[in-house]
């Protein structure tokens, strides 16, 4: 596994919309491993493929204290959102800033895991905000965009 370069604001490539992962090829498996490695190396809790200039609908996340609870989500989609909450978020692509963001409190997400298994899962608290944050990246959206609201 290797550490990938993370794009930083205002790089225009962060604005690209990612396309669906159609097949879990060895390239996709390798990318998932490299993304996880890159996230851990940078002390991040989540990373979207867009941030490493790979425009595929893939995110990795680990919000655990022991850094031993890795999620790899392919083609995530939020099928239910409940509640509203104010968070303060940081982003590896927007270094040195914390920005207040309004998020859904609880979400239900459908995704494919790296073994091709379809998963439907509920996330709350930091996991919920993190998934929403990373999914924004796949659509070219950054926390910076919330400032004008």
Which residue is associated with the tokens 């002390």? 43
The reply on whether position 36 binds Zn ion by CB under 5 A is no
- Closest CB to Zn ion belongs to which residue? 91
Residues in contact with 103: Cβ distance below 8 Å, sequence separation at least 6, in sequence order: 84, 85, 86, 87, 128, 129, 132, 133
Q: Which stretch binds Zn ion (CB under 5 A): 15-23, 26-34, 84-92, 114-122?
A: 84-92
The helix/strand/coil state of 29 is: helix
Q: Which stretch binds Zn ion (CB under 5 A): 27-35, 65-73, 85-93, 109-117?
A: 85-93
Residues in contact with 77: Cβ distance below 8 Å, sequence separation at least 6, in sequence order: 109, 110, 111
The reply on whether position 91 binds Zn ion by CB under 5 A is yes
| Active-site residue flag, 134 | yes
Least distance from C-beta 39 to Zn ion, angstroms? 11
84 - beta bridge partners? none
**Which residues in this chain contact Zn ion in the complex, by CB under 5 A?**
91
Catalytic residues: 134
């Amino acid at each position: 596994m290797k550490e990938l370069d993370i794009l930083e604001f205002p790089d225009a490539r962060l604005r690209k919309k990612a396309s669906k992962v159609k097949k879990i090829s060895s390239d996709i498996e390798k990318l998932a491993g490299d993304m996880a490695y890159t996230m851990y190396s940078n002390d991040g809790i989540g990373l979207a493929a867009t941030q490493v200039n790979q425009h595929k609908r893939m995110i990795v996340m680990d919000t655990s204290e022991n850094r031993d609870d890795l999620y790899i989500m392919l083609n995530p989609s939020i099928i239910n959102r409940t509640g509203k909450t104010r968070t303060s978020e940081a982003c590896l692509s927007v270094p040195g800033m914390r920005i207040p963001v309004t998020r859904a409190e609880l979400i239900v997400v459908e995704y494919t895991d790296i073994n091709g298994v379809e998963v439907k899962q509920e996330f709350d608290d930091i996991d919920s905000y993190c998934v929403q944050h990373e999914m924004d990246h796949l659509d070219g959206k950054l926390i910076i965009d919330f400032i004008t609201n």
